[in-house]
Amino acid sequence: MTAWVATVLALTALCTPWTIRAVEGGDADAVRAAFKRAGGTRAWSFPRDHGAHPAYKLEWWYYTGIVRTEGGRRFGYQVTFFRQGIVPDPPRRASAWATRNLYSAHLALSDLRAGRYHTAARAGRDGPALAGASQQRHKVWLTPWRADPLPDDPHGVRLSAVAEPFALELTLRAQKGPVLHGEGGLDRKGADPGQASWYYSMPRLATAGTLTVDGETHRVSGTTWMDHEFGTSQLGPEQVGWDWFSLRLSDGYDLMLYRLRHADGSADPRSGGSLIAPDGTRTPVRLTRDGVRLEPLEHWRSPRTQTRYPVAWRVELPRHNLSLRVEAAMPRQELTATPGIPFSYWEGVIDAEGRHAGRAVTVEGYLELTGYDGRLGGALRE
C-alpha cells in the first residue's frame, strides 16, 4: 500500500475535464469511467507485471532502502515513480507525442550521521525521452531519473537519480520473489466495489552502488523494500490518511502493516498487512480481527509546517507473538508540500527492537505518515 503517498495528486490539477476533452475530444466522466477498477482475480506474470498497467488510472513503483558505507555510515533513501492516467490506453496512439499519462517522482535521502534530510521532486507527461513505463518489464523513467531492468535478474532493477546536492546509482537484486498482499494481490481499502488496488512487494532486494552527497561519493550496500501498486479508486470518504510500516526483522521475517485512519483517529476495519516468513510464505494480518495494537508513543512537530507526526510506536501482533518498540532514526524526515508534492507527509528510516516468537529481534525499515496536514484527497477517491 505504501507509496500511494498520492504524489500523483500533484498532477491531478492538470487532469481537469477540459484537459481530458482536449486530449480525447470526449466526455470527461465517460473517460474516467473507462478505467478498470481493481476487483476479482488476476493471473500474475513476472517480469511483465513489474511493468505498467495503463488500463488503471493510478500506479506507483516505490523503493525505500537502508544502506551503509564500509565504515558503517548509514543512509536511508526513497525513490518513487507515480503514473496517473488521463485516458485509458487505446489500441493505438495517433501520435508518439499524444499524452495518455502524467508522471511524478519523489526522491529523498536521510543522512543519519549528519542529521540531514534531502528531498527533490519531478513531474512531466509521457512522450519520447520524457517519461514513461514499459508494459512488459521493470522499467520506468522520468528523465533523468530511471529504474531499469537487470538483464540477469527478472525481479532486479537499477535505480539512478541526480538532484542537488545528492545523487544515487544503485543495483537491486531480489533475495525474495514478489509477495502478493490481500487476496491474491487484491488489497481492499474501502467498502465499495473498486475501492482496492493490486498490490505486491519485494521486501528484500540486496542493494549495492554509490550515493553522492555534498560532492562526496560513497560506495554503499544494504537492503531495499520495493512496492508496486495499481488501481483506479481506493479510499472512502471517511478515510483521512494512513500510517504504513515496512519492517525487516533480524530473524528473517518481514512485516508490512498499515492503519487507515478515520477523522476521529480510529482505524478502519480494512487496515492490515502481511507477515512474511524467511521462505517467502505470507500470513495475512488484519488489525481488528487479529487484535493488533498500534500505539503512538512520541510525536514530533515540524518547524516548517507545524504538522504533528507520531514518530515512535508500540507495535504488537499478539496472534503472531510479536512485540516491538519502533522509533524514527531521526525525527526530521518530512517531505513538505512543493511543486510536485501536493501535501506534506513524513517518510523515513525507523529502527525497532523487541521480541518475536520468544526471541529478541532488532528491526530496521521505513514509516510513511499521511493525512496529518489535513490535505489528503483527490485522485484516490474518484
- Please give the full DSSP string across 106-159, using - where no structure is assigned: EEEEEETTTTEEEEEEEEEE-BTTTEEE-SSSS-EEETTEEEEEETTEEEEEEE
Of 144, 149, 273, 103, give the one whose Cα is nearest residue 200. Answer: 273
What CATH number corresponds to the domain at position 374? 2.40.370.10
Helix (H, G, I), strand (E, B) or coil at 75: strand
Instruction: Note whether residue 304 is domain-resident.
Output: yes
In-domain check, residue 1: no
What percent of the chain lies above the pLDDT cut of 90? 73
> Any idea what the Cα angle at residue 165 is, between residues 159 and 166, rounded to 5°?
20
Is residue 314 included in any domain, yes or no? yes
Q: Helix, strand, or coil here: 41?
A: coil
Cα 348 from chain centroid (whole Å): 12
**Which domain range does residue 329 map to?**
9-381
Q: For the segment 142-179, what is each residue's pLDDT rounded down to a tens digit? A: 999 999 999 999 999 999 999 989 999 999 999 989 99
CB neighbourhood size of 171 (10 A)? 18
Q: What are the φ/ψ torsions at residue 92 (nearest 5 degrees)?
A: -150, 155
Of 338, 335, 294, the C-alpha closest to 312 is 294
What span, in angstroms and rounded, lies between the C-alpha atoms of 242 and 39? 22
The answer to whether residue 288 is domain-embedded is yes
pLDDT of 13 higher than 90: no
CA dist., res. 224 & res. 208, Å (int)? 10
pTM of the full predicted structure? Answer: 0.91
State the pLDDT at residue 185: 97
Convert the pLDDT of each residue in 256-276 to its tens digit. 999 999 988 889 999 999 999
Strand partners, 64: 78, 225
Alpha carbon distance 120, 164 (integer Å)? 8
Residue 2 counted as domain residue: no
pLDDT digits (tens, 9 = 90+) for 303-353: 999 999 999 999 999 999 999 999 999 999 999 887 777 788 999 999 999
Q: Is residue 289 part of a domain?
A: yes
Mean pLDDT of the chain: 88
Is 4 domain-assigned? no
Report yes or no on 3 lying in a domain.
no
Count of the separate structural domains present in the chain: 1
Phi, psi of 47, deg, nearest 5: -85, 0
Amino acid present at 139:
K
Each residue's pLDDT tens digit, 22-63: 344 445 566 667 899 999 999 999 999 999 999 999 999 999
User: What's the alpha-carbon Rg for the chain, to the nearest Å?
Assistant: 20
Distances (CA, A) of 124 to 10, 61, 130, 151, 316: 11, 16, 7, 28, 41
